[in-house]
Structure 1
Amino acid sequence: MAFPEPQLHRSSSRGFALGTEPQLRHRASRSDTGLVASTESLLATEEGLRLFQEGQLPDTDQEWYRLVPKEAQVVLDKNEVKRQSVLFEVFKSEKDYVTDLELVQEVFIDGLLNANPPVIDPEHLRPFISEVFGNIEAISSHHHRMLAALFSRQREQHPLVQSVTDVVLDTSLLFRSDYETYIKSYPLAEARHRSELKKNSKYGEWLQQCYQDPQIRKRDLVTFISRPVTRLPRLSLVLEAILKLTDSEHPDKESLPLLISILSDFVKSTQPGIAVAEAKVKFWNLCESLAYVKGEIVDMDLYNESRSLVYSGTLARRMRSDMGHTWVDLHVALLDNYLLLTKEEQRNGVTKYRIMSRPIPLEYLRLGSFDDPSDNRRERLEDAGILDRVRPTYKPLYPFKIYHASSKATRSYTLYAPSEGMRKKWNYALADAITVRKVHQESNMWLAPHDVRTGFYQYLKHGQPPDDSIHIMGRITAAAPMSSYGRSFVIIGSATGIYTAQRGKSDLTKILSITSPTSIYTLPDFNKVIIHHNHEIISYSLDMFARLSLGNSSRSSLESTYEKVSGNEGNVLFCKPGVTGKRTMLLYAAKSFLQVTIYALEVILPNEVQTRRRHEGSLSFRSFGDPFAVPRDAYDVTLLTKTIGICTEKGIVVADPTNLTSGTFSLVPDFAGAHENTVLNSLKSKCEAAKPLGMVRCDASELLVIYDDLGCYITRHGAPTRSCSYIRWEAKATSCAHVGIYLLLFSSEFVEIRHIQSGRLVQVLEGEDIRLLHSGLLPGEKVTLIALRDGTSDVPGPKDKIVELVETQELNRSPSTSSSSTFTPRSEHAASDIWDMWE
Structure 2
Amino acid sequence: MSIPFPEPYVNRSRSSQAYLDTPPPVPPKPSDLGHRYSRSELSTPTQLHHTASTASLSSSYYHGEDSDYATASADSHADEGLPRELTELSLQSEEGVLNFQAGKLPESEQEWYKLVPTEAREALGKKEVQRQSNLFELFKAELDYVADLQAVFDVVVTPLQNSQPPIITQRYLKGFISEVFGNLHQILQQHIKLRDALFVRQREQHPFVISVSDIILETTLKADFRAAYEIYIKHYPISESHHRKEVRRNDKYRAFIQSVSGDPRIRKRDLITFLSRPVTRLLRLNMQLEGILRHTGEDHPDLENLPVSLDIVRDLVKSTEPGIEAAQAKVKFWALCEGLVYQKGEMIDMDLYDDSRTVVHAGPVARKSRSSTAGTSWADLHLALLDNYLILTRNETKSSATVKRYLVSRPLPLAFIRLGSFTDPPDARKEYDKEGSILGLRYHNVPVYPLTVYHASNKANRRYTLYVTSDEVRRVWKSKLENAFGVYTARMEGNMFFSPHTLSDGFFRTTGMRMSSNAIIRGKISCAAPFSIQGRHYLAVGCTSGIWVSQRGREVVDFKRVIAFPSPRAIAAIYAHGEKIFNKLIVHDESTLNSYPLDLVAKVAEGKADAKSLSSSCEKIAGQPKNVVFFRYTHVGPRLLLVYAYRKLLQVSLSLQVVEVLDISESNIAPKRGLSFGRKPAEQESKSFRPYGEAGYVPKDAYDVTALIKTIGVCTADGIVIADPTNLMRKPNVVPNLADASSNMPMATLKSKVEDSKPLGMIPHGEELLVVCDSIGYYVDRHGLPVRNCGYMKWETKVQSYAQRGPHVLLVSEEFIEIRLIDTGRIVQVIEGKGIRLLYGGPGQDAVLVAMKGEHDDAHGVSDKIAELLETSEIQTAHPTSASADLWDEFDA
TM-score normalised to structure 2 length: 0.86
* 1:199-278 mapped onto 2 (5 Å cutoff): 199-278=249-328
Distance across 2 between alignment mates of 1:654 and 1:117: 53
CA RMSD of aligned residues (A): 2.7
* 1:305-704 mapped onto 2 (5 Å cutoff): 305-321=355-371, 322-349=373-400, 350-382=402-434, 384-386=435-437, 389-453=440-504, 457-459=508-510, 472-501=521-550, 502-503=552-553, 504-525=555-576, 526-592=582-648, 593-595=650-652, 596-612=654-670, 618-662=686-730, 664-699=731-766, 701-704=767-770
Deviates more, 1:681-690 or 1:199-208: 681-690
The question of whether the paired residues in 2 share the 8 Å contact of 1:612 and 1:618 is answered with no
Query: What residue is the counterpart of 1:49 in the other structure?
Result: 97
Q: 1:462 to 1:78 in 2, by over 3 A?
A: closer
Deviates more, 1:166-175 or 1:309-318: 166-175
Secondary structure of 1:659's partner? coil
Query: What residue is the counterpart of 1:739 in the other structure?
Result: 805
Query: What residue is the counterpart of 2:825 in the other structure?
Result: 759
Secondary structure of 2:321's partner? helix
**Offset of residue 471 of structure 1:** 7.7
Distance across 1 between alignment mates of 2:886 and 2:238: 50
Q: Structure 1, residues 337-359: CA drift from partner, whole Å, max 9, x if none?
A: 11111001234544211111111
Deviates more, 1:683-692 or 1:323-332: 683-692
The question of whether the paired residues in 1 share the 8 Å contact of 2:800 and 2:813 is answered with yes
Q: Structure 1, residues 443-474: CA drift from partner, whole Å, max 9, x if none?
A: 1112222223576533356898999xx98532
Distance across 2 between alignment mates of 1:149 and 1:390: 71
Q: 1:615 to 1:681 in 2, by over 3 A?
A: closer
Secondary structure of 2:408's partner? strand
Deviates more, 1:635-644 or 1:746-755: 635-644
The question of whether the paired residues in 1 share the 8 Å contact of 2:286 and 2:310 is answered with yes
1:579 partner letter: H
Q: 1:472 to 1:171 in 2, by over 3 A?
A: farther
The question of whether the paired residues in 2 share the 8 Å contact of 1:365 and 1:403 is answered with yes
Q: Structure 1, residues 186-222: CA drift from partner, whole Å, max 9, x if none?
A: 0000111111111111111111221111122221211
Are residues 1:82 and 2:133 paired?
no
Query: What residue is the counterpart of 1:802 in the other structure?
Result: 866
Q: Which has the larger radius of gyration?
A: 2
Candidates 200, 204, 208, aligned match of 1:160: 208
1:391 partner letter: R
Distance across 1 between alignment mates of 2:109 and 2:91: 8
The question of whether the paired residues in 1 share the 8 Å contact of 2:856 and 2:862 is answered with no
Secondary structure of 1:576's partner? strand
The question of whether the paired residues in 2 share the 8 Å contact of 1:736 and 1:743 is answered with yes
The question of whether the paired residues in 1 share the 8 Å contact of 2:505 and 2:864 is answered with no
Task: Give the unaligned 5+ runs of structure 2.
Answer: 16-30, 42-88, 577-581, 675-684
The question of whether the paired residues in 2 share the 8 Å contact of 1:377 and 1:396 is answered with yes
**Offset of residue 758 of structure 1:** 1.3
The question of whether the paired residues in 2 share the 8 Å contact of 1:581 and 1:832 is answered with no
Candidates 175, 198, 216, aligned match of 2:248: 198
Secondary structure of 2:728's partner? helix
2:12 partner letter: L
**Offset of residue 615 of structure 1:** 8.6
The question of whether the paired residues in 2 share the 8 Å contact of 1:10 and 1:96 is answered with no
Q: 1:634 to 1:84 in 2, by over 3 A?
A: same
**Offset of residue 85 of structure 1:** 1.0
Distance across 2 between alignment mates of 1:771 and 1:442: 22
**Offset of residue 529 of structure 1:** 0.8
Query: What residue is the counterpart of 2:890 in the other structure?
Result: 836
**Offset of residue 107 of structure 1:** 1.4
Q: 1:143 to 1:828 in 2, by over 3 A?
A: same
1:820 partner letter: Q
Secondary structure of 2:549's partner? strand
Query: What residue is the counterpart of 2:113 in the other structure?
Result: 65
Candidates 183, 189, 200, aligned match of 1:135: 183
Candidates 2, 9, 12, aligned match of 1:5: 9
Q: Structure 1, residues 570-608: CA drift from partner, whole Å, max 9, x if none?
A: 322111111235421111112222232222111000000
Distance across 2 between alignment mates of 1:557 and 1:493: 19
Q: Structure 1, residues 731-772: CA drift from partner, whole Å, max 9, x if none?
A: 011112222111221110001111112122222111110000
The question of whether the paired residues in 2 share the 8 Å contact of 1:43 and 1:49 is answered with no
The question of whether the paired residues in 1 share the 8 Å contact of 2:217 and 2:306 is answered with no
1:302 partner letter: L
Distance across 1 between alignment mates of 2:869 and 2:13: 67
Deviates more, 1:646-655 or 1:404-413: 646-655
TM-score normalised to structure 1 length: 0.91
Query: What residue is the counterpart of 1:815 in the other structure?
Result: none
Q: 1:362 to 1:187 in 2, by over 3 A?
A: same
Q: Structure 1, residues 64-123: CA drift from partner, whole Å, max 9, x if none?
A: 212222111111121111111112111111111111111112111112122222211112
Q: 1:32 to 1:518 in 2, by over 3 A?
A: same
Query: What residue is the counterpart of 1:814 in the other structure?
Result: none
Q: 1:465 to 1:211 in 2, by over 3 A?
A: closer
Distance across 1 between alignment mates of 2:596 and 2:636: 23
The question of whether the paired residues in 2 share the 8 Å contact of 1:773 and 1:786 is answered with yes
Task: Give the unaligned 5+ runs of structure 1.
Answer: 12-29, 810-817
2:855 partner letter: G
Q: 1:403 to 1:733 in 2, by over 3 A?
A: same
Query: What residue is the counterpart of 1:121 in the other structure?
Result: 169
Deviates more, 1:455-464 or 1:177-186: 455-464
Deviates more, 1:298-307 or 1:360-369: 298-307
Q: 1:223 to 1:31 in 2, by over 3 A?
A: closer
Q: 1:105 to 1:829 in 2, by over 3 A?
A: closer
Distance across 2 between alignment mates of 1:630 and 1:183: 67
The question of whether the paired residues in 1 share the 8 Å contact of 2:711 and 2:892 is answered with no
Candidates 775, 797, 804, aligned match of 1:709: 775
Are residues 1:771 and 2:837 paired?
yes
**Offset of residue 499 of structure 1:** 1.5
Query: What residue is the counterpart of 2:22 in the other structure?
Result: none
Distance across 1 between alignment mates of 2:560 and 2:198: 87
Q: 1:559 to 1:147 in 2, by over 3 A?
A: same
